[in-house]
Amino acid sequence: MEVYDIVSQFPKEERYGASDQLRRAVVSIMLNYLEGFGRRKEKVKLNFFEISYGSLRESKYLVVLAYERKWITKKQYESIFSKLDEMGAMLWSMIQGLEKMISAI
């Protein structure tokens, strides 16, 4: 994953700070999505998708921080941010669809 490559560029003093947090947040996006996808009840599924979306927002902030601190290049920033934007749009669409489904019940 691209994030694992860029965090190796972070300063050593960020090894247990922003670097680890970004890795955990990015992994959390997929893990919570998958856990939600495996649930049968829509409200439970929605909860995991919302947690996944929160991790995505956290990841985006950390990527912005890394760019502003000049830990990553503009090209790396744009590449990762566009992927996060795309994942965010898909997740948000799923969240909205589930909310409509739940409210119709």
pLDDT tens per residue, range 2-55: 898 899 889 999 888 999 999 999 999 999 999 999 999 999 999 999 999 999
- How would residue 71 be classed by pLDDT, with cut points 50, 70 and 90? very high
* 22 Rama sector, left if φ>0, alpha if ψ -120 to 50, beta otherwise: alpha
* pLDDT for res 4: 87
**Domains of the chain and any CATH numbers:** 2-104 (1.20.1440.60)
pTM score:
0.92
- Residue 50: other Cβ atoms inside 10 A: 16
Cα separation, 21 vs 27, in Å, equals 10
Cα separation, 105 vs 95, in Å, equals 16
| SS3 category, 40 | coil
* 10 Rama sector, left if φ>0, alpha if ψ -120 to 50, beta otherwise: beta
* pLDDT for res 42: 95
* pLDDT for res 33: 97
